[in-house]
Amino acid sequence: EFVFTNPKYFRINEGKLNMEITASTIEQYASDETMYAKNITFELFNDDGEKSAEGKGNLLSANLETGLYYLFDNIIIKSFEKNITITASSIKWNDESEQLTTEINNPSESQVFITSDDDPKFKIQGYGFSGSGFDHSFTFTGEVSGEITTNK
C-alpha cells in the first residue's frame, strides 16, 4: 500500500506520453491493482503529442488490472478533438472497450450534460449515457432533452 500527497503520474506507451494525472491524494494497493484518488485532474495526448482531452473529478476509483476507472462528483471532461464538454456526477471508463458510460439504474447519478460550441452548437442532457472512444459517437438509453443552434 502506498499513499501519495500531491502526486503527478505519467503514462507512457511505446515511448510517448499518453496520459498525465495529478491529484491531492492517491492511494495505490498492489495486492489487488487498485488506485483511489481525490481531486484528480488528467490530460490525454494523441500520437502526435498534442493534448486531445482533459478532465477532472473529485474522486477516482481505478482497477489497473481490469482497466475500469470510475469518476465521481463534479466531473468535467473536455475533448479538444471533437470540441465537446461532458459534465456528470458519476461516470465509468473502460480501457478495453474504450467506452465512457453511466448507469441508467441510478437516475440521480446518471444524468450527463454535453455541450459544443461548433456549428451546429448544442446542449444536450440525458440519462443512460454511452460514448465510444473508437468512433466518437454517443447515445442515451434514457430520457434526453436539449437544443441545437445552427448558423444556416
Contact 127, 120 (CB under 8 A): no
Mean pLDDT of 75-85: 91
Q: 117 pLDDT band (50/70/90 cuts)?
A: confident
The set of residues, in sequence order, having a beta carbon less than 8 Å from that of 108 and lying 6+ positions away, is: 89
Reduced to 3 states (helix: H, G, I; strand: E, B; else coil), residue 108 is helix
- pTM value is 0.86
DSSP state of 119: S
**Residue 104 pLDDT > 70:** no
What whole-number distance in Å separates Cα of residue 80 and Cα of residue 77? 10
* Cα gap 53→108, rounded to integer Å: 26
Please give the Cα distance from 96 to 84 (Å, whole number): 22
**Looking at the predicted structure, is the pLDDT value of residue 67 above 70?**
yes
Q: Of the ranges 20-29, 43-52, 67-76, 103-112, which one carries the lowest mean pLDDT score?
A: 103-112
Cβ atoms of residues 23 and 7 within 8 Å = yes
Give φ, ψ of 96 to 5 degrees.
-70, -50
